[in-house]
Amino acid sequence: MKEELEDKTPNDGDVFDFIVVGAGSAGAVIAARLSEIQNVTVLLIEAGSSENYVTDLPLIAMYLQLFETFNWNYKIESSPNYCRAMHNNQCKMPRGKVMGGSSVLNFMIETRGNRQDYDDWAKMGCDGWSWKDVMPIFKKMENFHVQDPIVDKEYHNTGGPVNIARSPYHTISADAFLQAARERGFPIIDYDGKEQIGYSYTYATIKNGSRFSSNKAYLYPVKGRPNLFVTKKSIAHKVLINNANRAFGVSFTKEKKKIKVLARKEVIVCAGAIDSPKLLMLSGIGPANHLNDMNIKIKKDAPVGKNLMDHITYWGLNFLVNDSITVVTSKIFDFMRNNVVHDYLVKREGPLTITGGIEAAGFINVDDPTAREGSPNIELLFAGISVGSDPLAYKSLSIKSKYYNDYLANMLNKESFMIMPTLLSPKSRGSVVLKSKDPMEPPLINPNYFDHPDDMRRLILGIREALRISETRAMQMYDAHLPDNSIPGCQDFLKDSDAYWECAARTFASTLYHPSGTCKMGAENDNRAVVGPRLKVIGVNGLRVADASIMPKIVVGHTNIPTMMIGEKLARMVKEDWGLIVKDKLTE
């Protein structure tokens, strides 16, 4: 694409003021913002290459997991306690390897999280991260284009770099889902407004019906800026740290050539919640016992890789209906019978603009179903498409053929939808550790799903609320119902019992692609923290981390926009610390 920044390979020993590792949701923001300072140079190191027209197509977001070109293709460690339907009991953990990072793979859903999330961060020692501190950043980031009476204009803005809109198309089944929510007594709301509990069509990072990544939002507009350099297909091996425990550069490989680049001021790691801890540990920053086991020289004993959090979602609620009210991909891509592809290519309209198939969402508190204020703990995502009806979706999730054939195959090419209960405030904590000191080896990812009993309890309550939604008049107009057959492996449990749904969750639940927390932010004296409130690595000078890994507590919502906010805030702090403040669209 002509807007993509030119790939430039630095020479061994080249010096830059700032080196940013990772061009994802935070890294793209930071590189663009720091390069606003004309007298500093910024190098952005990205392991992947450029976006393309395939990644722009919203509906096929799930299929992108099948393309190793854009995806690190990580898998979690095998466990008998979850992911039982997946090959080798291993759920996938897709992570972006492309300009724009995971904002090029995700389902584009935009949420900020709940104000309580950020106030909790502040209470945990993260000064400057309360809701009143971050809310102005969220507002000034966005170019919000949703025309709906429910929108609370006080909480939104136009003119920012990040385009936020709704898909120009939604199915009749999505309308029915929201009507069902009304029947259940829930309001239709602006979930980025004053209150988050309620239901809504989703907001998304799209523009003119196409994906709008952090790359498009922040880097496309600064193409040609002479002090910003991008090296693509460049895999960082380690941060270079001297004997005074100061970061002074990065070592990476590109086209089998090893290159060292040096930083006059700082190295900023933005490789994401899986690869940021991996890079820190390879650099000698991490748990001492683990680094000793890996035969890596210890620079700083730190709890890197701990505190892994994720939103786990249940993919098994696939409902058949008796009318043409959903999206059936085989019909959409039947070029001889419809104009769907033409409508997208020419008008940017139609079903192909639906973001990963997801059209609406409900935020609820299953511990207090009457609550209409405060923080939700379950999200019900609605998709006017299903894993059962689509011939490739189950492969994207790595579901074994036996599980697909025994439970979902009879739905193939049929009208159906999904409601996906998602655990928003997990109490379980996992970890990321090195498999070896070889930078090319993937890390070992142990999410430890359902380790805390409250997580399973709440997910089951979320499943039950989704079932109640399906039983409303709005849904029964179309005879919405689950397949008659039982979840494979759960036949011995009484159907619809808590034990049955626990078995089902351990079988079909998987990540919603929101790993976070592995380089936890906290007060300087917090022995569980990796970075302080200004995102400086504790005990190492000249090094910061800025991405979802710094979240001390995962946000109650999707993590892409909060991660961009982290990038904006970090860029501002760096400018302040180095006396480089200039006026820009965010600060004026």
pLDDT tens digits, one per residue of 297-344:
999 999 999 999 999 999 999 999 999 999 999 888 776 567 888 888
What is the model's pLDDT at position 1? 67
User: Residue 73 pLDDT more than 80?
Assistant: yes
Mean pLDDT of 481-508: 96
- Looking at 170, 237, 311, 558, which residue is catalytic? 558
- Looking at 156, 237, 311, 514, which residue is catalytic? 514
CA distances from 434 to 45, 94, 442, 478, 537 (A): 21, 17, 8, 50, 19
Please give the Cα distance from 213 to 83 (Å, whole number).
Answer: 29
Please give the Cα distance from 113 to 561 (Å, whole number).
Answer: 9
Q: What percent of the chain has pLDDT over 70?
A: 98
CATH assignment, 60-95+167-201+312-431+448-511: 3.30.560.10
Residue 87 is among the residues annotated as catalytic for this protein: no
User: Which residue ranges make up each domain of the chain?
Assistant: 15-51+215-308+516-551+562-577, 60-95+167-201+312-431+448-511
Mean pLDDT of 359-377: 97
pLDDT band at residue 377 under the 50/70/90 scheme: very high
Please give the Cα distance from 379 to 381 (Å, whole number).
Answer: 6
What is the model's pLDDT at position 341? 82
pLDDT band at residue 65 under the 50/70/90 scheme: confident
What is the model's pLDDT at position 522? 98
Q: What is the model's pTM?
A: 0.97
What is the model's pLDDT at position 588? 40
Residue 110's closest CA among 419, 549, 423, 558?
558
**Is the dihedral angle over the CA atoms 274, 275, 278, 284 positive or is it negative?**
negative
DSSP string computed for 477-546 = TTT-B--SSPPTT-TTSPTTSHHHHHHHHHHHEEE-S--B-TT-B--TT-TT-SB-TT-BBTT-BTEEE-
User: Residue 587 pLDDT more than 60?
Assistant: no
Average pLDDT, the chain: 96
Matching fold, domains 15-51+215-308+516-551+562-577 and 60-95+167-201+312-431+448-511: no
433 assigned to a ligand binding site: no
What is the model's pLDDT at position 382? 98
CA 39, 44, 47 angle in degrees (round to 5)? 170
**In the CATH scheme, what is the homologous superfamily, with its name and number, of domain 15-51+215-308+516-551+562-577?**
FAD/NAD(P)-binding domain (3.50.50.60)
Please give the Cα distance from 289 to 573 (Å, whole number).
Answer: 33
Residue 514 is among the residues annotated as catalytic for this protein: yes
Q: pLDDT tens digit string along 108-144?
A: 999 999 999 999 999 999 999 999 999 999 999 999 9
